Structure formats: C-alpha cells, structure tokens
Amino acid sequence: MITDWLDILYKAFWCGCGALGFAVLFNTPSRALFAIFLCGFTAGLIKFTIIHPDVGGGIILASLIAASAVGFASIPVSHWRHVPPIIISIPSVIPFVPGSYAYRAMLGLIKFINQTEVEVLTKTVHNGAMTFFIVMVLALGVTLPMLLFRIESVKKVGIPVARRKKDKNR
C-alpha cells in the first residue's frame, strides 16, 4: 500500500517536472513557473490515483478529472500569479498527452501494410481512438471550467473588477 502511494507520488512529481519543462518551452513568465509545477503535480496525483487498480477508473475518466481539476485550479492560481488561466492550465496537462497510444497506433498502421490480420487492425483502431478521446478530454477538461467561469467572469465579473479598481484610484 505504501509502495503504491510512493509510486503515485513519484509519478506525480515527474508530471510536475514535465509541466515545468513545457512551461519553459512556451516561454511562460517566471512568476508562474512554480504554480505550474504545483498544478502539474496535483494533476498527476489525481490521475494516477484514479488509474490505480484499487480505485479502478479508466485512463479517459482519470484524464478528464485531472484536466478539469487543473482547469478549476487555474482560475484562483491565475489571480494569485497575475497571468491568464490558460497559461497555467495548458502546460499542466501536457504530460497527459497520450504519446504512448499515438505511437502504438502509428506503429500498428505501419504493421498493417504487411500484416493484414484483423487483430492488428482492431488494436490499431483502439489505440487511435484512445489517443483521440484522451486529447479531446484534456482540451475539454481545461476549457470547461474556464467556459463556466467566462460567462460569469470576463464579461460580468472580469471587466467590472477593473472598473472597481479604477474607482478606487479616483
């Protein structure tokens, strides 16, 4: 049990590192880097906990919940670090991009050129479908909370916030 938790913690830590690497690649302001590491770490913790056999969630469900958690977290964090939420959330979910499924799908497709067995085809299509749905779910998870808040925030809360600040200065 403890080793399981340690394993999840290690993986979460490396997820945070991955998020950090991508944040630097996208030239994110340095004031947001630590927050991105934390978001990536939290997302990793959520994802690998859900995937764990004792919990038994699928990878798509896990990705959706982790990505939505990042999306929701990015809103207070973006206020804290003074950056738009998308800057926190995109690098944080990049470690969950299903590179391994995409790779196997591509490999299967190449294999299918010479080996036209049904098994090869079903495996390839399965891997391709997993890739597609995980990417969709990641984008949706990140967007969904921002969407829910955007209707309230940028038009109704966001701009009035600035007006209030302006009033204070006057």
Partner 1 sequence: MSNQPSTEANELGKLLLQAGTALIKAGAGSNRVVLNVMRLADAYGYEAQVDMGTRYITVSLHSKQQEHIFSGSRHLSSLPGSNFKVIAEISRLSWAVSEKNMTVSEAGMELEKVIHLPEYNRSIVLLLVGLAGSSFCYTFGGNAIEMGITFLATVAGLFCKQELIRKKFNPYLVTYCSAVLAALIIGIAWKAGISSGLDHAFATCILFLIPGVPLINSIIDIIDGYILNGIDRGINGIIHAFAIASGLATIIYIFQVQ
Q: Which residues bind partner 1 (CB under 8 A)?
A: 10-11, 14-15, 17-29, 32, 44, 48, 82-84, 86-87, 90, 93-95, 97, 99-100, 102-104, 106-107, 110, 135-136, 138-140, 142-143, 146-147, 150, 154, 159, 162, 165-166, 169
Taking the complex as a whole, how short is the minimal distance between the CB of residue 110 and partner 1, in angstroms? 6
Burial class (CB in 10 A: 0-12, 13-18, 19+), 132: middle
Provide, rounded to whole angstroms, the least separation between the CB of residue 163 and partner 1.
8
Q: Which is nearer to partner 1, 55 or 154 (CB)?
A: 154
Give the Cα separation of 59 and 12 in Å (integer): 15
Side chain identity, residue 25:
L
- Closest C-alpha among 61, 52, 136 to residue 97: 136
How far is Cα 139 from Cα 144, in angstroms, rounded to an integer?
8
- Give the residue with the Cβ less far from partner 1, 18 or 68: 18
Contact by Cβ (8 Å): 92, 39: yes
CB 30 to partner 1: min, Å:
8
